[in-house]
């Protein structure tokens, strides 16, 4: 009986630790914010299905959802060459309006910034903030660490029906490598399986190519000063003139960061009952995740932070969806608040993936593809640094 109660206490303690770690993950670190849109391609197969699922799909959980009402644009409305046409100024203005929780009257408030930045209720009162060094520092902190890390990701999709590819490759179906190359299948066992199964199975499914164009909201010292001076007013002080000035403003800007391309292959074998619509949906959502990973590897400003979940062993809720591989390594950052309430990030260590454990496959649909898997985190080994604690933040190192 005594052993039973001891075991019960241990289990209870573990659950309590898990709950506390969950709180750390969900509420104790600042995420970048993202607005994801797509370019409509009405002539592509299943275009309506993709549009429907894209509009209802959540943003990746390592970002704050900064989506605006419009998620789908026509081909001539958004740039696909790195330029910044006037419509991007309108999007930038609307993103600023969302950050400052603009009301139907045209007034602004700091509620969303307080919530996402974990400031106390009075920390960002505009009048008080502008009258003190601490207040000005916290306004700058909110701009630098929150508003300035807001991104727009424009997604352009193209789909390839693998049945068409397979028919073209039918003359060399016995050559597994040729089939894999033709269809975009990289897994060796899957290639062999496909070759053995024949044309009917080999042709089921889609390869989706996604080209992502990344832009970042400009929120520098000049932009912040102009906003607070020329546009800021709350509901109690807003005037028709100030409301109209913001409505008609072209002052706010997005800057181009870069472009990356990814491919997602969804193989429908004899063991699946997926419709073509479901296959296209799965491939599209996976390809978006892969595009984000590619952009993060090539652009440091777009990298996300992930809190350490446990320290004995070291784990984090991150996996293949975020591009983690056996070679991945991460800087460990500690959040430090200075005397004026401004957050700094100090590097305190380096960890790498612990290859004695499987990497968590958290890609879209993984739980359905691998129902037997119980893995729900990735394990790491400390390479260097001081003692680590839950809530410290992991940022993937460049080139890894």
Average pLDDT over residues 134-147: 71
Number of domains, the chain: 2
The answer to whether residue 248 is domain-embedded is yes
Same-domain pairing of 200 and 62: yes
**Of 238, 265, 299, which marks where a domain is finished?**
299
pLDDT beyond 60 at 389: yes
Strands 63-65 vs 343-353: parallel, antiparallel or unpaired? unpaired
What CATH number should be reported for the domain holding residue 348?
2.40.10
pLDDT beyond 70 at 129: no
Same-domain pairing of 105 and 231: yes
Q: Please tell me the least confidently modeled range out of 14-18, 101-105, 323-327.
A: 14-18
Tens-place pLDDT, residues 220-261 = 989 998 999 999 999 999 999 999 999 999 999 999 999 998
Q: What are phi and psi of 213, to 5 degrees?
A: -115, 120
Same-domain pairing of 203 and 159: yes
Percent of the residues in the chain that have a pLDDT greater than 90, as a whole number? 45
Alpha helices by DSSP H, listed for 100-239, are 111-117, 126-129, 133-145, 162-168, 176-183, 188-197, 199-202, 221-226
Same-domain pairing of 124 and 171: yes
Tens-place pLDDT, residues 246-256 = 999 999 999 99
Same-domain pairing of 268 and 347: no
The answer to whether residue 354 is domain-embedded is yes
Tens-place pLDDT, residues 337-371 = 777 677 889 999 999 999 999 999 988 877 777 78
Same-domain pairing of 238 and 373: no
The answer to whether residue 6 is domain-embedded is no
Same-domain pairing of 202 and 320: no
The answer to whether residue 2 is domain-embedded is no
Average pLDDT over residues 91-97: 98
Same-domain pairing of 254 and 398: no
Same-domain pairing of 180 and 67: yes
Same-domain pairing of 281 and 337: no
The answer to whether residue 26 is domain-embedded is no
- 291 burial (CB, 10 Å; 0-12 / 13-18 / 19+) is buried
pLDDT beyond 50 at 2: no
For residues 306 and 199, what is the distance between their CA atoms, to the nearest angstrom? Answer: 43
The answer to whether residue 76 is domain-embedded is yes
* pLDDT tier, 30 (very low <50, low <70, confident <90, very high otherwise): confident
Range of the domain at 114: 31-299
**Of 273, 299, 325, which marks where a domain is finished?**
299
The answer to whether residue 159 is domain-embedded is yes
For residues 156 and 153, what is the distance between their CA atoms, to the nearest angstrom? Answer: 10
Instruction: Tell me what pLDDT residue 182 has.
Output: 46
Same-domain pairing of 257 and 361: no
**Of 268, 299, 330, which marks where a domain is finished?**
299
Helix (H, G, I), strand (E, B) or coil at 32: strand
- CA distances, 326 to each of 114, 222, 310, 353, 364 (Å): 38, 43, 19, 6, 20
């Amino acid at each position: 009986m005594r052993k039973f109660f001891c075991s019960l206490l241990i289990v209870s303690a573990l659950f309590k630790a898990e709950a506390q770690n969950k709180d750390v993950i969900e509420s104790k670190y600042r995420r970048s914010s993202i607005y994801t849109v797509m370019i409509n391609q009405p002539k592509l197969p299943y275009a309506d299905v993709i549009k429907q699922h894209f509009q209802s799909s959540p943003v990746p959980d390592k970002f704050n959802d900064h989506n605006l009402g419009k998620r789908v644009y026509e081909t001539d409305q958004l740039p696909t060459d790195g330029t910044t046409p006037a419509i991007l100024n309108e999007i930038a203005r609307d993103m600023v309006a969302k950050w400052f929780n603009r009301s139907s009257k045209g007034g602004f408030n700091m509620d969303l910034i307080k919530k996402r930045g974990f400031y106390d209720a009075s920390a960002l009162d505009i009048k008080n903030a502008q009258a003190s060094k601490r207040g000005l520092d916290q306004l700058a902190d909110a701009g630098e660490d929150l508003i300035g890390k807001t991104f727009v990701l424009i997604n352009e999709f193209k789909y390839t029906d693998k049945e068409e590819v397979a028919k073209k490759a039918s003359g060399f179906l016995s050559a597994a490598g040729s089939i894999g190359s033709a269809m975009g299948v990289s897994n060796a066992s899957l290639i062999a399986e496909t070759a053995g199964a024949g044309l009917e199975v080999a042709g089921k499914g889609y390869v989706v190519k996604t080209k992502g164009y990344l832009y970042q909201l400009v929120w520098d010292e000049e932009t912040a000063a102009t906003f607070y001076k020329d546009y800021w007013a709350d509901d109690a002080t807003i005037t028709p003139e100030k409301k109209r000035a913001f409505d008609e403003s072209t002052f706010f800007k997005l800057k181009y960061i870069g472009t990356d391309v990814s491919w997602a292959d969804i193989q429908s074998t004899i063991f699946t009952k997926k419709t073509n619509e479901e296959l296209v949906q799965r491939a599209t959502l996976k390809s978006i995740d892969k595009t984000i990973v590619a952009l993060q590897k090539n652009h440091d400003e777009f990298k996300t932070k992930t809190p350490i979940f446990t320290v004995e062993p070291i784990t984090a809720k991150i996996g293949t969806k975020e591009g983690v591989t056996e070679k991945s390594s991460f800087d460990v950052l500690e959040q430090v608040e200075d005397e004026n309430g401004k957050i700094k990030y100090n590097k305190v260590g380096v960890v790498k993936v612990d290859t004695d454990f499987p990497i968590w496959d958290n890609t879209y649909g993984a739980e359905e593809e691998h129902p037997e898997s119980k893995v729900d985190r990735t394990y790491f080994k400390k390479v260097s640094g001081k003692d680590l604690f839950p809530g410290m933040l992991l940022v993937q190192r460049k080139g890894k």
